[in-house]
C-alpha cells in the first residue's frame, strides 16, 4: 500500500495540455492590431458623415490580437456607428462597402447581438437584413468559420 | 435535361462508375456497397459487397484493371476483384487507428491512397513476393483529419484537403512500383512523403475537397467558409479565391483545363472559370429551375390539400433544384478532366444525376465552358 505523502499539487495539473494529439492552433501569434482610430471615427460621426465613419470604424479590425480590451473597444465603436445610422440610410451604408469589409461588418453585427442593450438589437437586425441581402448565406458562414474573430 | 436516377431514400455516401459506365457502385449510407447494372432504362442491383463492419466512406473503381477499392469507418480498406462473376475482397492493412475517410486509385492503378481521421495518408501498393497490399504512411505535417485526396496525372504527387484548414501536395512516390518521376512545376525532390506545397484556406474553414486539373499544374479546393480557391503551380504565391454568397461546397472537379464544377450544401452544381491571368470567376449555376406550371388548382386538389395540410396554399416543400439535399460527390461520367462532356453528382437525397454540358450550354443562355 502506498502512503499518501500529503502532496496534492499533482491533482491540479491540466493533463490535456500535454496530450500530443491536441490540435495546436497556429494563429497563436499575438498580432499588433490597434483597432480602428477612435478619434477619427468620433469626429466623422460629429460631422454627420456616417458612411465615412462606418468605413473608418471597419478598418483595421483587431482580429489577430489576443488583447480582449482592444477587441471590446473596437466592438463598442462599431456599435456606436451602426446605431447612429437612420434605418433608411442603412442600405446606402451597406452598398458603399466592398465584399471583405462586408464580411467584417457581419462579424461585428453578430458580436453586437451577443451583448444586447436598449434598442440595439432592433437596429442590428435591420443591418443584418441588409448585409444578408448583399452578402448572402456565405457571409454568415464566414462569421462562423473564421478563426480570427472580432 | 439532366438524367436523374433515384436509389431509394437513404443518402448516398459515395459512388463510382466502371469503365464503360454500364455499372455504378454506391454505398447507401451503411456497411455495404451495392453495384447496379444498366438494364434498358432501369438499374438492377447485381452485386452486394458486404465485408465492411462499419459504414463505407469511399469507393473508387479502377477503369483499366476493373478493381474496386473501398474504405470505411472500420479502419479497413478492401480491394475487390471480379472472379467468376463474383466480387472477392482482399483486406488491406492500413495501420490506422481512426476511420478511413476517402480513397483514390492512382492514374496507373498500381497504388491507391487512403485518407483517414488518424491524421495520415496511407499509400498502398501490391507486394508480389508476399502476395498482399502494403501501406506506407504520410504523416508530417498533417494535423487533422484528411477529408479528400486527388492524384496528380504523373502517378506520384498527391493532393489532400484536411480539416486543419490546409490543402497540401505530397509526394506519394513508392520506389517498389514507380519509376523515378521527372520534375514537375511542383518541385524536383519527390521522396515519399515529401511536402511539395502547403496552402492555407484563408480565414478558416475545413477543406472539403481538392482537385488537380488535367495537366496537374493547377490545384483547386473548396472550403467550409463558402470559398473556392485555385492555385497554379507556376505561381504559388497567388491563390485565386472567390468567397461566395452561397452555402459551402463539399466537392469540386475540373472539367477542362480552365473550368471547375463545384457543388455542395446548396444542392446545385455551379461552374467557375480560372483563366490564364490566374483569376477565378463564378460563371453560372448549372441547375436552372424550370418554371413551375402555374394555373389554378382544381376544386378536388383544393379539398385534398385542405384535408392533408389544413391549408389551400399551393407551395410545396420541394427545393426547385434537381437534388433535394446536399450534393456530396461529383465525378466524371463521359470524357476526361481535360474535356468532360458529362459529369455525375450524388447526394444525401439518394439520387445520382448525370449532367450533360451540351444540353446545359443550350438551355442556359450564354453559357460557354472555357
Chain A residues within an 8 Å CB radius of B246 = 136-138
pLDDT at B151: 97
Considering CB atoms only, which of A23, A137, A148 is closest to B246?
A: A137
Q: Which residue of A has its CA nearest to B226?
A: A138
Partner-chain contact B203 A23, CB within 8 Å: no
Q: pLDDT tens, B306-338? A: 888 887 776 677 888 999 999 999 999 999 999
pLDDT at A26: 63
Considering CB atoms only, which of A23, A134, A147 is closest to B203?
A: A147
Q: What is the mean pLDDT of each run of 10 residues along chain A (150 residues)?
A: 78 80 64 76 87 89 85 90 90 92 94 89 93 94 89
Q: Return the SS3 of B259.
A: strand
Of B169, B173, B259, B249, whose CA–CA distance to B213 is shortest?
B259
Tell me how crowded residue B157 is: count the other CB atoms within 10 A of its CB.
Answer: 27
**Is the ipTM, as predicted for this complex, more than 0.90?**
no
User: Do you find a cis peptide bond into B141, omega within 30 degrees of 0?
Assistant: yes
Partner-chain contact B164 A141, CB within 8 Å: no
pLDDT at A42: 87
Partner-chain contact B246 A135, CB within 8 Å: no
Q: Which residue of B has its CA nearest to A138?
A: B245
pLDDT at B70: 97
Tell me the pTM: 0.89
Residues 6+ apart with CB under 8 A from B53: B31, B72, B74, B76
What is the grid cell recorded at A88?
Answer: 433608411
Q: One digit per residue, pLDDT tens: chain B, 370 residues?
A: 889 999 999 999 999 999 999 999 999 999 999 999 999 888 999 999 999 999 999 999 999 999 999 999 999 999 999 999 999 999 999 999 999 999 999 999 999 999 999 999 999 999 999 999 999 999 989 999 999 999 999 999 999 999 999 999 999 999 999 999 999 999 999 999 999 999 999 878 999 999 999 999 999 999 999 999 999 999 999 999 999 999 999 999 999 999 999 999 999 999 999 998 889 999 999 988 765 555 566 788 888 878 888 877 766 778 889 999 999 999 999 999 999 999 999 999 999 999 999 989 888 877 878 7
Q: How far is A143 from chain B (nearest CA, A)?
A: 8
CA torsion B304→B305→B307→B311, rounded to 10°? -150
| Mean residue pLDDT across chain B | 92
Taking a C-beta distance cutoff of 8 angstroms, is the pair B57, B72 a contact?
Answer: yes
Q: pLDDT tens, B72-95? A: 999 999 999 999 999 999 999 999
The H or E element containing residue B72 is: strand B67-72
What is the grid cell recorded at B40?
Answer: 434498358
Taking a C-beta distance cutoff of 8 angstroms, is the pair B229, B282 a contact?
Answer: no
pLDDT at A13: 87
**CA separation for the pair B22, B277 (Å, rounded):** 40
Q: Chain A window 69-128: which residues touch B at a Cβ cutoff of 8 Å?
A: 99, 103
**CA separation for the pair A40, A57 (Å, rounded):** 9
pLDDT at A31: 61
Partner-chain contact B245 A145, CB within 8 Å: no
Considering CB atoms only, which of A99, A134, A146 is closest to B203?
A: A146
pLDDT at B62: 96
pLDDT at B289: 72
Amino acid at each position: 500500500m502506498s502512503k499518501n505523502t500529503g502532496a496534492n499539487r499533482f491533482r491540479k495539473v491540466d493533463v490535456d495540455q500535454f496530450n500530443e494529439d491536441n490540435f495546436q492552433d497556429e494563429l497563436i501569434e499575438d498580432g499588433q492590431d490597434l483597432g480602428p482610430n477612435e478619434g477619427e471615427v468620433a469626429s466623422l460621426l460629429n460631422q454627420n458623415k456616417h458612411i465615412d465613419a462606418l468605413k473608418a470604424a471597419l478598418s483595421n479590425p483587431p482580429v489577430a490580437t489576443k488583447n480582449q480590451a482592444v477587441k471590446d473597444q473596437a466592438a463598442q465603436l462599431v456599435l456606436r456607428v451602426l446605431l447612429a445610422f437612420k434605418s433608411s440610410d442603412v442600405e446606402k451604408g451597406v452598398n458603399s462597402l466592398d465584399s471583405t469589409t462586408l464580411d467584417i461588418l457581419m462579424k461585428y453585427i453578430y458580436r453586437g447581438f451577443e451583448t444586447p442593450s436598449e434598442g440595439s438589437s432592433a437596429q442590428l437586425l435591420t443591418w443584418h437584413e441588409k448585409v444578408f441581402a448583399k452578402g448572402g448565406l456565405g457571409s454568415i458562414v464566414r462569421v462562423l468559420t473564421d478563426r480570427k474573430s472580432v | 435535361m439532366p438524367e436523374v436516377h433515384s436509389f431509394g431514400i437513404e443518402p448516398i455516401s459515395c459512388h463510382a462508375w466502371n469503365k464503360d459506365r454500364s455499372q455504378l457502385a454506391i454505398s447507401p449510407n451503411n456497411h455495404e456497397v451495392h453495384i447496379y447494372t444498366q438494364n434498358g432504362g432501369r438499374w438492377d442491383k447485381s452485386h452486394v459487397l458486404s465485408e465492411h463492419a462499419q459504414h463505407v466512406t469511399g469507393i473508387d473503381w479502377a477503369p483499366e484493371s476493373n478493381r474496386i477499392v473501398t474504405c470505411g469507418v472500420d479502419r479497413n480498406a478492401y480491394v475487390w476483384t471480379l472472379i467468376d462473376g463474383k466480387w472477392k475482397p482482399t483486406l488491406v492493412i492500413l495501420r490506422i487507428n481512426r476511420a478511413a475517410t476517402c480513397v483514390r486509385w492512382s492514374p496507373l492503378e498500381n497504388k491507391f491512397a487512403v485518407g483517414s481521421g488518424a491524421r495520415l495518408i496511407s499509400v498502398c501498393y501490391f507486394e508480389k513476393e508476399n502476395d498482399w497490399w502494403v501501406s506506407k504512411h504520410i504523416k508530417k505535417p498533417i494535423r487533422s483529419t484528411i477529408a479528400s485526396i486527388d492524384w496528380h496525372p504523373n502517378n506520384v504527387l498527391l493532393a489532400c484537403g484536411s480539416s486543419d484548414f490546409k490543402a497540401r501536395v505530397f509526394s506519394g512516390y513508392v520506389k517498389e512500383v514507380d519509376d523515378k518521376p521527372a520534375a514537375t512545376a511542383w518541385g524536383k525532390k519527390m521522396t515519399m512523403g515529401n511536402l511539395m506545397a502547403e496552402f492555407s484556406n484563408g480565414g478558416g474553414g475545413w477543406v472539403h475537397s481538392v482537385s488537380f486539373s488535367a495537366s496537374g499544374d493547377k490545384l483547386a479546393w473548396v472550403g467550409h467558409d463558402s470559398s473556392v480557391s485555385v492555385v497554379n503551380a507556376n505561381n504559388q504565391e497567388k491563390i485565386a479565391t472567390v468567397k461566395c454568397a452561397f452555402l459551402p461546397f463539399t466537392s469540386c472537379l475540373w472539367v477542362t483545363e480552365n473550368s471547375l464544377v463545384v457543388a455542395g450544401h446548396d444542392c446545385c452544381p455551379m461552374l467557375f472559370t480560372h483563366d490564364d491571368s490566374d483569376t477565378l470567376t463564378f460563371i453560372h449555376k448549372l441547375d436552372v429551375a424550370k418554371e413551375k406550371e402555374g394555373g389554378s388548382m382544381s376544386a378536388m386538389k383544393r379539398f385534398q390539400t385542405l384535408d392533408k395540410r389544413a391549408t389551400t396554399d399551393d407551395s410545396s416543400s420541394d427545393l426547385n433544384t434537381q437534388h433535394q439535399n446536399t450534393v456530396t460527390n461529383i465525378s466524371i461520367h463521359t470524357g476526361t478532366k481535360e474535356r468532360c462532356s458529362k459529369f455525375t453528382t450524388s447526394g444525401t437525397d439518394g439520387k445520382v444525376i448525370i449532367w450533360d454540358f451540351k444540353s446545359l450550354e443550350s438551355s442556359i443562355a450564354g453559357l460557354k465552358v472555357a
